[in-house]
Every structure is written in structure tokens, then in C-alpha cells.
Chain A
Amino acid sequence: MSEVFRIAIVGSGPSGLSAAAHAAAKGISHVLLEKTDHLSDTIFRYQKGKHVMATPSLLVLRSDCDFAAGKRETVLAQWNADAEKAGVNVRYKAEAKAITGAKGDFSIALTNGDVIKAETVVLAIGTQGNPNLMRCEGGDLPHVQYTLDDPAAYIDEHIVVFGGGDAGIENALGLIADQAQGNAVTLVDRNADFARAKDANVKALLQARDTGRMTVMSETQASLVEVGWVTLETPQGASRVKCDRIIARMGSAPPRKFVEDAGIAFTSEARTAFPQLSPTFETTAPGIYVIGALAGYPLIKHCMNQGHDVVEYINGATDLKPADEPILEAKLAGLPGKLSVTQWLEFLRARVEILYGLSPLQMREFLLDSDVRAFHAGDVIFERNGVGTSLFGIAQGSVKVEIDPKNPKITVPIPQGSIFGEVGLISGRRRGATVRAGEDCIVVEIPRTAALKLMAQVAEARETVNRITTERQILQIFKSGLTPADLAEVLPMAEMMEVKPGQPIMTEGDEGDDLFIIRSGSMVVEKSVGGKQVFLSYVPAGSYSGEMALLDGGPRTATVKAAIRSQVVRLPGEPFRRLLAKKPELANRMRAEVASRRKVNAFVEGRKDNFRGVADMYSSVASFLIDQGIGEATDVLLIDESLCVGCDNCEKACADSHEGLSRLNREAGKTYAKIHVPTSCRHCEHPYCMTDCPPNAIQRGPDGEVFISDACIGCGNCQRNCPYDVIQMDKPPPEKPGLLAWMLFGMGPGPGEPDKDWREKQPKEAVEKGKVAIKCDMCIGKAGGPACVRACPTGAAIRVSPEEFLSVALMERGQG
């Protein structure tokens, strides 16, 4: 009879390995079952040299194995060494088939026929271990592989990659990265669009296809694999393709059946559901524990800590404090009142509205990223124009917002439970007002990324933030001494709507008296004149539309549709009219706005009869600019090609004001009616580049400029996320000799971006710098403003904001 282990651990990934190492360290009898012949297969199958991240960085690692961010090879070598040192009892090529028995007496049947006996079982099998296989004839041939270790190892091969997910696309792109390898790569996917993959990967894939560097076949499957060939079923019929190697990355399935057969219940029927677990990771089958990715924790550090903890629990520990306890203790140490970490977590959760929906575990993770701070009455929490994008929640006391920079006496209070600083969260801009503690208070400061994560994960938090920001935005737009109490009737009926580009929120001639607040994005107003849609005006975020019908009744006088993806708040007309009756000041304000909008409309329509061509021109130029994404810009460089002499002084000026690299490509980009939109940053209202910047290096400056700080790590996310291709990855060139040295003595490359030859001739130490993301920063901090415009000799280069440019001024230009 074979030995009965105290703990059998299935799966040797980060969690399983960590559990085994801890069991070994504590001298507990154990066995680690690994179905391959090496440890940690998921990490093993990462592409060669892939950088393994160690997030969340604040989390303390509590494991007998070491782990730090680094290359795949370094991480694996470390773990192999740790496992050996700890004396882990590993059985390779041991794939578990079924688990039977009960606590104290489990039998794990292996696929090779062996049976392992154990008192408890820890399942750490992750979700990646079972790649979906090539099911067609010949799918078991040796040139079919499910991993790609080193893309540089293959030369002059015809390679077909199956699978349009991130793994497949990244592999395929890796294989063509170096053209000198001469690989002919085809990517095949079963579906039509690459919906499962990251946008950036899809973009890179389609670009590779369009430049002819890769063949991409969608809605295609393999029907026969032969040596040297593969037959593909395309929508146009079968096609036999040359193929020396197949790399199949068609996803993997969590082995749900295997887990359920062991008597373990899942939280729901959903495909993405996880097993039900107790706080000690025990499943509904007593004696079987689940940790790691299968438990819903995909991050390596979490997994390794759970491996440690689960062994402690099995070994009878009851008072095990989470690994992050010391960090949280340190974080909360300076605060008034003598509360324990658990009490603090509950204190914050129960008092700050946006945290109501969090579980204790989520609260813990949340607080790792955030800070709790105490302020005395009158202390400044942040100042107007200060840099900062964090969100604050008030757990105790209240704060005062100084809304008038000239008179700090005028303040608006924000009570306990509410939030402030949310403008930074939405736009990434500098602080719009100074906020002081109204009385002694305790606030929780949530960094932008943590707040976005919170909103993404917890629906209640998202709704609360949206409700509060909507209320504040309405108060700010209408001013007129409105208070939250005035909106009490209107707000509950407000409806948040997502509007797609081109989708109308109201149509000319329709009945309706709702008022729309544009929360993000922008709208264009069009009117049908003589059977044609004529552009009337542009409505940016932070403004409203629909007031004419609301005030004067009658059908809608114009069509209002989204210029870009936008978010609007619909306020029903009836209660709003009652509000207007109560607040004559607000009514007057809106009437004044209506009068000025009417004037613009009348102007355009009046011109329509006299200057048919001009009005057409105005309308079509406006439509062109909206198509170019100007609708989401805050400040964009335009070039009037009727004035541009092509001297490229704008590019040279740009390079010379920014470490020698131009952030502007004058010639590239679209042109209409001599208005050219060069490839240059538009400083979007909601910058795409900001959405996924790991070091949070992309910020918004005091003039609305979106810039990248020195914190850039060169990951390239922003470049991939920018839909306008205005971000490049490059390394700053060495410093050039001065202008006079060039003019008088011909030293250096002269004004503008130095050419490649000159850069390569410079001493190596001056050249050896890492690539970083480079984009227009609107010459932030330079007194003269953007250099491109200052340096234009003819006045062709202009910087405009859409609300200024898409106005009557454009029309007058047409006439002049």
C-alpha cells in the first residue's frame, strides 16, 4: 500500500508550488502533482524573454518561494531553485484524472493508472492547463505545437497560427517582427472579427495584414493537416496552403467537469464562474481546497500567498492574518482613535457611500492602493490648479469647496459620506478649486487608477460616482444659485445615455421637451435646409441642448447628434419646467442662451439663400473636421494649405523645443478644402492614451494639454491606444551644437530633427537611452505657447479649439 500524504497539491503553478514549498518547510507530508515534466507550465509557456509583472506592487509576498518582476527565465529559474531547496516532493507527468473519497481519505487517480492517497487535496490547477487541441485529421502530427517559446528561433518557414485571441496574435506578430527571418506567417481564426483580443493587438494585426507582412484568414478552420501542408476551409471554399509549422493558440477551458466531479459546487452556471469557497479556501467538498487562478485570483503574488495560507489553514491555523496586514497597519497608524485594521476597514466601508458595495476582501485590496488621512478644521486638502487626479471620500466630518478664486469666503460644503475631486477622475485635469476641511475630518484618498478599478468592479460605486458627478455638473452648468435641494425633483428622473457617433439625441420636427446635458463627448447641431443637412453648431461636453423646445414648446427645431461616442443625461421636461418657474434667474439665463443660439442659426440660414456655396462649404468643412475626430479634441493643430509653403519650420521648431524630436508630421493626415489636419495630438477631452498608462505618466496640464511626464516606462500602451497615431516610441537624440555654431561653422545637423546618420556617429553613451513615448505637449510651460504656430512664417499653422473654430468664424473665413 502506498503512502498516504497529509496534503496532495494538484498543479505546480505559482500557487501550487508555493503551497508545496510551505508544506515542505513545515515538514508536512505532501506531494505536488504536475502533469508536464517541468514546474509552472503556464509561465513556462510564455514567450521567451516575456516580462512577468509583479502586481499589486504593495502586496507583501508571503511564500517560501521568491518572486519579483522580471524575465520569464529568471522567474522560472528562481522557482526551480526554491523548490529544490525546500525539498518539495514533486511528481512530474502526473495528470490527475479524478478525485474520489472524503476528507481524510482521498484517492487521486492519475491518467497513467497510478492512484495517490491523501488526507486533503489542494487544487491549484489554474485555468490555462488545457489548451484546446487541433481536432482535424493530422492534428497530432509533431509539427503542430501549442506553445511558442522563441519566435526568433524560426527562419524561412511557412507558419500558420491558429487562434485570433491575444496569445495567437502576439505569437504571429512575434514571428514577423524581424523581416530578416523571412517567415511567411498566416493567422487563422474561426470568427469574423477578433473580438476576444485587445484592441491594440487587433490594430497591429490588421496593420501587418495591410502592409502585406502577414496573411490573415478569418471565418476559417483547418480540415486536414499534412506534413508541409494544411487544408483550410474558408468562406470561399477549401484551400491547401504551404505550412511547415502550426502554432495552435485556440484558448483553453477551465477544467470545470473535473472539478465538479470531485463534488465541488460553483457560484453560478456562468462559464466564467469560480468554485464556491470558504474564507479558508475550502470548497463545498470538505477537505478539498481551491487556490490560485481557479479560485479567481489571476495575479501571481495573490496565488503564491494563497499557497502559503492554505497550508497554514490545513495545518490548523485560525488566527492567520492576511499578508497585507502590516502594510495596512502602517497606513492607518497615524490616525486618531485606536481602531484595528478590521475596524478601520468597516469604519470606512460603512461611512463612505461609494464603498458600500465592497466585500471585506475587496476593501482590503482597495485600501492597499488608497490612503486614509486626517485633517484639522481649516487645513487645505488640495489647492486650485494643483496637480492631482485622485478621488476623495469623506468618512468623517465635512469639507468646504472654495468655488470663487477671488473670494475664499464663498464655499460649498460637502458632507460626510460623499466624494470630492471627481473632476480629476473624469478629465485628468488639474484641481478646479481649493478644498479645505470644514471641521476635523477623516478622508480616504483614492488614486485615479484605483478609483477607475473600483468603478469597473463594483456597480454600486460606479452608480454613486455617476450620480454625484451628474448632480455637480448640472449645478455647474446652470449656476444661477441652484442648490442640490432644487434638483431633488429633477435628478431622480434623470437618465444616463450612451450615444454612438452619428446617433441623434433629438431629431428635427419631432415632439419632445426633454433637456440633454452633454456629460462627455460632443454633439453637432444640424438643420435641414433646402433638402440638405446643414451644420449649425457644435456643442461640447459640459453644455446642454434641447432648451428651445423646453422653453417655447413646439417641435424640435434642429437635429442634434453625437460627433463622437458621448454620454448624455436626459432630464425630463416637465419637472424641469417647474424648476424654471421656481427659479426665474435660471429661466432668464437659459433664455439668453436661446437668443444667442437663435442668432447663429439665423445667420447660417440667412447666408444659405445669399451664399449657397459658402453655406455648403461651411457645412462640409465642419463635417470633415468632425470626421477627423475634432469633435473630441480640445486643441488641435490645423494647417491652411492655401498658405503653407512646405518649409517644415513647424516640425523643426517642434523638434528644437523638445529634445530634438518632432511630435508632428505635417504632411501626413487628411485634407479638405485646403484645411489640413496633420498627424499631431488633439488633446482629446477623454484621452485614449491615458486609459492604460501603468506609471500614470500621462497627465493634463493647466491649459488642457495632455503630456507625458518623465515617469514614462516606454511600454507603448499609449501609442497603441491612440486612434490618431500621434504617439511615437523613440529615444531622444544626443544634444546638438548651438545654432550659431551651425550657422557660422557648419557644426552639427542644424535646426530640426537630426538625421539618422548624424545620430549614429555620436559617442555611444550619448545615444544609449531607452525608447519612451513621445507626443505633443503643446509646449507646456513655454511662455510663448506652441512652437509650431510661433514658428510658422506664413500663418498657415493655427491651433484651434473646436468650439471656437466650428463657429461662425469658419463661415466668415469662407467669404473672406
Chain B
Amino acid sequence: MARAAQSKRRKTSTHESFLRHRGFLFLKVSTILCIGVVLAYVFQDAHPRPSGGTALGYALGTLGALLIVWLGLLGLRKRAITDGPYSLKAWVSAHVYLGLSLIVIATLHTGFHFGWNVHTLAYGLMLLVIASGAVGVWFYATLPKALSDNRGETTRKQMLAQIHALDEQIHEAAQPLARVDADIVRLSLEKTDIGGGFWRRLFGYYGDCANLRAIDQLEPALADAKGREAVALRKVEELMRRKADALALARRQIHITALLEAWLFVHVPSTFALLAALTAHIVSVFLYW
């Protein structure tokens, strides 16, 4: 086609998820690595029995430690936006598959010696990191669809703006109300918490939402009201129900987003704990073994 001459700059991007990156390249690398490690373990001639202290044990330990440090650097890679030709997707793909391979590498490094000590602590923390990571992979693979379905083409900003707009309308509609009814409206206007704290977001529990309580309290008032008051109350009720829908939409978005991030609250701190324990493990091995 009539395109002008292009520079050699890298521009193409393939449409593949991080799990399928380059035809499962890192799954293959990781599998081969694991098979190699298992074979080496099976065919080694260890005395008195396999452990971290044998030649293979040292090799596996070094490999594992280097892998852990490298895997931890993903956090830096993600945030350092450099100009060179890197792909964060490739990093994540390698992070997932090589991270999983650590289960084999580290387990064989232990030679199945476990105890109540800093060494097994490091091993346990590593498994915690991997397990939380696996949960993350599961979430990443399944939740985006729900996130997209929930929001359609609405942005988070628009969701919040919608709720604020409804609040203003409720405020306007409540002007003719008597004091006692106005207090119910104030409950919805002033006490409704859109997102709430961490646990609320995580579990998506909003059963005690102030807006819902206000709607419940409006019911008896509606039954008694007459004339202008009744018209205004019905208007307010309808607006509050619309607000409940808008809140539900925003909260579902917040809930799914929270799930997509929550596993990191385990994954990242336990990574730091692992690095500390790993340092203790290595130092103690070389100084005191």
C-alpha cells in the first residue's frame, strides 16, 4: 500500500494474552526446566541423602534465590517506564510460569527436610507467595469479563457523577417535605457511603446501606402522606430507587476491582517477608551450618 517508508522501530503488537504469550513460550521453558531439575534430582548420587548441602542442592538453591529476586523485580519493571523495547506482558508471562516452577525447584532444594526453623519459614512463605499469585492468575483470567460486562461503556467517573446528580435531584425534590420525612432523606444524602472500607469492597457487602434503610423508612411515611407531601414523597422514593441501582452498579465495579487488587495485599507483603526470610536463610547457612 501507499505507506511512506517506515523506521525500524518496533511497533507491532500481537493479540495474545499473557498466559498464551508467544505460543506459551514460558510455559515450555518452565516445563523443560522442571523436568531437567527432576531428572537431575532422581539421578544424583547424594550422600548421605539429598539436601540443600549437596552440589545439586547448592545449585538449586542458587537458581531458586536468583529466580525469587528476579521475580520480585517485576514490581520495579511495571513502574519503570523506560524507552527500550521491553514488554511487560512477556515479563508477566515469565513471572507466572517461572514462579510456578519454583515449587519444584525449591522443594527439591530442600531434599524434603522440613522443621521449625527459618529455612522452612522461607519455604513456607514462598509457597504462600506462589499460592496468592495463583489466585491472582485465576482472578486475572476470569474477572475482566465481569468487570467489562458490569460497566458497559460507563466510566467510574460517570458512575460517581450519576450518583451525585441523583443526590442533587433528591435534595431538590425533598424541599416540600415535612421535617420528619426530610430526616429520612438526609439519611440517604448524608450517610450513604459509596465504596466503604477494604473488607466491604472485598466482599461487596452493602446490605446496611443508608440509602436502602431510607427507602425502607419511607414506606410507612408514604402510606400516611396526603396531597403535596405524598407527591413529593413518591418522587423522592423513585429517585432513591434509581440511586440504589446506580449505587449497585458502582459498588459491583468497586468490588470486582477490589478482588483484582486484593490478592496483591497478600502477594506483595509476603514477597517482602520471603526476601527477608531468604536472606536470613542464606546468611545463616553460610555462617552457622
Contact = CB atoms under 8 A, between A and B. Distances in A.
B148 A793 contact: no
B175 interface: no
A532 interface: no
Nearest to A779: B83
A785 B10 contact: yes
B144 A657 contact: no
A439 to B, nearest CB: 27
A787 B9 CA distance: 13
Contact of A798 (B9, B15, B91, B143): B15
Top-8 shortest CB links A-B: A542-B2, A641-B148, A667-B155, A784-B85, A656-B81, A782-B83, A429-B4, A702-B7
B84 A784 contact: yes
A432 B5 contact: yes
A665 B158 CA distance: 13
B191 to A, nearest CB: 26
Q: Identify which of A430, A473, A643, A803 gathers the most chain B CB atoms within 10 Å of its CB.
A: A643
Given A783-B10, A783-B84, A785-B9, A791 B4 contact: no
A798 B13 contact: yes
Interface in B1-42: 1-7, 9-11, 13-18, 20-21
Contacts of B288: none
A497 B200 CA distance: 61
20 contacts: A432-B4, A641-B147, A642-B148, A643-B17, A643-B144, A644-B148, A645-B140, A645-B143, A645-B147, A667-B151, A668-B155, A739-B76, A782-B9, A783-B10, A783-B83, A785-B11, A786-B11, A790-B87, A795-B89, A796-B17
A794 B18 contact: yes
Given A652-B81, A653-B81, A784-B85, A795 B17 contact: yes
Contacts of B79: 652, 739, 743, 750-751
Contacts of A405: 5
A793 B18 contact: yes
Contacts of B11: 635, 703, 778, 785-786, 799
Contacts of A657: 81, 83
Interface in A757-816: 778-779, 782-787, 789-800, 803, 809, 813
B178 interface: no
Given A668-B155, A799-B11, A790 B86 contact: yes
Interface in A618-647: 635, 640-647
A423 B16 CA distance: 36
A624 to B, nearest CB: 12
Contacts of B92: 793-794
Contacts of B155: 665, 667-668
A640 B145 CA distance: 10
A148 to B, nearest CB: 31
Q: Name, among A432, A778, A791, the residue most crowded by chain B CB atoms within 10 Å (CB to CB).
A: A791
Interface in A540-568: 540-543
B223 interface: no
B2 A473 contact: yes
Contacts of B151: 667
Contacts of A542: 1-3
B80 interface: yes
Contact of A703 (B2, B6, B144, B260): B6
Contacts of A779: 83
A803 B81 CA distance: 30
A785 to B, nearest CB: 5
A652 B88 CA distance: 13
A798 B9 CA distance: 16
A509 B184 CA distance: 68
Contact of B85 (A652, A667, A783): A783
B197 interface: no
A783 B2 contact: no
Given A645-B144, A668-B155, A783-B84, A430 B4 contact: yes
Query: Which among A646, A778, A787, A809 has the highest number of chain B CB atoms within 10 Å?
Result: A646
B93 to A, nearest CB: 8
B117 interface: no
B9 A783 contact: yes
Given A703-B6, A795-B15, A674 B145 contact: yes
A717 B125 CA distance: 57
Interface of A: 384-385, 405, 423, 427, 429-430, 432, 473, 476-477, 540-543, 635, 640-647, 649, 652-653, 656-657, 665, 667-671, 674, 676, 702-704, 739, 743, 750-751, 778-779, 782-787, 789-800, 803, 809, 813
Given A671-B153, A676-B148, A798-B13, A792 B2 contact: no
B82 A784 contact: yes
Nearest to B92: A793
Nearest to B257: A646
A702 B152 contact: no
Nearest to B152: A671
A477 B3 CA distance: 11
B2 A477 contact: yes
A787 B1 contact: no
A671 B153 CA distance: 6
B144 A641 contact: yes
Contacts of B16: 795
B135 to A, nearest CB: 13
Contacts of A653: 81
Contacts of A385: 5, 7
B78 interface: yes
A562 B26 CA distance: 44
Interface in B80-120: 80-89, 91-92
A109 to B, nearest CB: 61
Given A641-B148, A671-B153, 18 more contacts: A540-B1, A542-B3, A643-B17, A643-B18, A646-B147, A649-B88, A652-B79, A656-B81, A667-B156, A668-B155, A702-B7, A778-B11, A782-B83, A783-B9, A789-B13, A794-B17, A794-B89, A795-B14
A704 B4 contact: yes
Contact of A739 (B18, B80, B145, B157): B80
A219 B72 CA distance: 66
Interface in B138-168: 139-140, 143-145, 147-148, 151-153, 155-157
Most buried by A among B81, B86, B92, B143: B81
A426 B17 CA distance: 38
Contacts of A786: 11
A702 B144 contact: no
Interface string B246-270: 0000000000010010000000000
Contacts of A743: 76, 79
A320 B4 CA distance: 49
The residue among A477, A657, A785 with the most chain B CB atoms within 10 A of its own CB is: A785
B256 to A, nearest CB: 8
B250 to A, nearest CB: 13
Contacts of A778: 11
Interface string B56-78: 00000000000000000000101
A803 B78 contact: no
Contacts of B4: 423, 427, 429-430, 432, 702, 704
Contacts of B9: 702-703, 782-783, 785
Contacts of B78: 649, 791, 793
B151 to A, nearest CB: 8
Nearest to B151: A667
A68 B22 CA distance: 62
Nearest to A476: B2
Nearest to A431: B4
A641 to B, nearest CB: 4
Given A542-B1, A792-B89, A702 B15 contact: no
Contacts of A702: 4-7, 9
Contacts of A803: 1
Contact of A784 (B2, B83, B140, B157): B83
Given A669-B153, A793-B92, A798-B13, A543 B1 contact: yes
Nearest to B260: A645
